[in-house]
Structure 1
Amino acid sequence: MSASDKITSSSASTGTIHIDPTGFVKLGSQLPVLANTLTKAVHELGLSLSETQQRTLLLYLDQLFLWNKAYNLTAITDPEEALIKHVIDCLAIITHLPSGSLLDIGTGAGLPAVIIAICQPERQCTALDSNQKKIRFIKQISSELGLSNMQPIASRIEAHEASYEVVTSRAFASLIDFVDVAQPRLADNGHLCAMKGKAPNEEELQALDSDWHIKTIKLKVPRLHDSRHLIELSRKNV
């Protein structure tokens, strides 16, 4: 039995899960609180995640903190804040993603690619980043967490040649820049999905309107009070 499978019984009536702490290094005594926060968020987002998947998400968070100093993965030092701003933030897009093979550009520590791979084991996910150290981290945790559907690649997007049905990003400051670099990697009838804080402004929408159908989805991320949106784009005249 792998570490990610070691789960004790859950309580449907209380909405809590009780996770075996075996294999966790950094979360320690905070694990029960974090597990309950995650379970409530999963319920609020309407996701159907098994206890094994929820435990794997928490193991990812544990590994993020374990290797943070070596790989410079996050500036957040509080586990609950990281759970909300990294893991739950990425969970909020899951139900809105079109189906198909996925490329995550500028994935960093694997956000949202690793989160998607854990939640949707049937989807092939590619995590792309030019930072070799961060890709080494994703390779390591993909092996430890048993993510056979995850392919980490250290490369700039301009040097990557495969095509995908869904292309995501959480890191691009400009929606126009994201579309510019992502569209060559998009398969016919594919979708670009950009995670953003604020909704696109009128200038961005007008610049893209002639070539793209644009759908702006306002997200409600549990426990997060900041604005979040998912911008979904598909080509016109395909």
Structure 2
Amino acid sequence: MDVSRETARALAQYCELVRKWNPRINLVAAGSLLEFEERHLRDSLQLVDLSAKTNTNWVDLGSGGGLPGLVVAISRPDLEVKLIESDRRKAEFLRTVCRELGLKNCAIVAQRIEAVDRLDVANISARALAALPLLMSYVSRHLAEDGTAWLMKGRNWHAEVEEARKTWRFDLISHPSLTDENAAILEIRRIEHV
């Protein structure tokens, strides 16, 4: 996952801001803060690589500390990225990062996902937000008909897919995580409620 010198500098600045803010608002689990670059950042950069061919708008649901949405915005200044986060303190953190890094391609929406007007976007991402059956309802609300969802799921992803297929039809490609052999990034298209 090669990035330009400018992108690497911006990502390092983002990591510093996470470490500075985390004790106050718990952006990531305190125990994982020491391995932030290896665990969280690398995971999000993998998503950036997988979605490299996309060249249009992007929405990150439940952005929290900015994973993966801020990493996408930093790494892909050509994309218009919107981060949806209902927690006002976390939304303020996201705004601070955007301001300090000069991210002109990133907007913060401080609302609940279900309260946001339909966005009809080409790409949606989410990490550690909700179990897949519930997450599919959020994604289907905002994803364009020909869009792609990029969902970062942990070690229970197989069971979550099986459960989601009881009420949703969708095309799925699973990409193994580089940071956890049991986790995956789910590339999902053509979502239909059954």
* Coarse TM-score class (shorter-chain normalised): 0.7 to 0.9
Query: May I ask how many residue pairs the two structures share in their alignment?
Result: 187
What SS class does the counterpart of residue 84 from structure 2 fall into?
A: strand
Q: Deviations over 1:50-91 (max 9, x none)?
A: 111111111101011112233332223575411122211111
Q: Distance in 2 between matches of 1:116 and 1:143?
A: 16
Q: Distance in 1 between matches of 2:33 and 2:62?
A: 23
What SS class does the counterpart of residue 64 from structure 2 fall into?
A: coil
Residue number in structure 1 paired with 2:186? 231
Structure (1 or 2) with the larger CA radius of gyration: 1
Q: Distance in 1 between matches of 2:172 and 2:105?
A: 29
What SS class does the counterpart of residue 150 from structure 2 fall into?
A: strand
List runs of 5+ in structure 2 lacking aligned partners.
Answer: none
Q: Distance in 2 between matches of 1:77 and 1:206?
A: 34
Which one has more relative contact order, counting CA pairs under 8 Å at least 6 apart?
2
**Residue 177 (structure 2) aligned to one of 209, 219, 233:** 219
Residue number in structure 2 paired with 1:194? 151
Residue number in structure 1 paired with 2:125? 168
Q: Distance in 2 between matches of 1:160 and 1:132?
A: 15
Matches within 5 A, 1:78-93: 80-93=34-47
State whether residues 113 and 127 of structure 1, in contact with CA within 8 Å, keep that contact through their aligned partners in structure 2. Answer: yes
**Residue 73 (structure 2) aligned to one of 103, 117, 126:** 117
What SS class does the counterpart of residue 135 from structure 2 fall into?
A: helix
Residue number in structure 2 paired with 1:207? 166
- After superposition, the CA RMSD in angstroms is 2.0
State whether residues 47 and 150 of structure 2, in contact with CA within 8 Å, keep that contact through their aligned partners in structure 1. Answer: no
What SS class does the counterpart of residue 67 from structure 1 fall into?
A: helix
TM-score, structure 1 length as denominator? Answer: 0.72
Runs of 4+ in 1 over 3 A off after TM superposition: 77-80
List runs of 5+ in structure 1 lacking aligned partners.
Answer: 1-41
TM-score, structure 2 length as denominator? Answer: 0.87
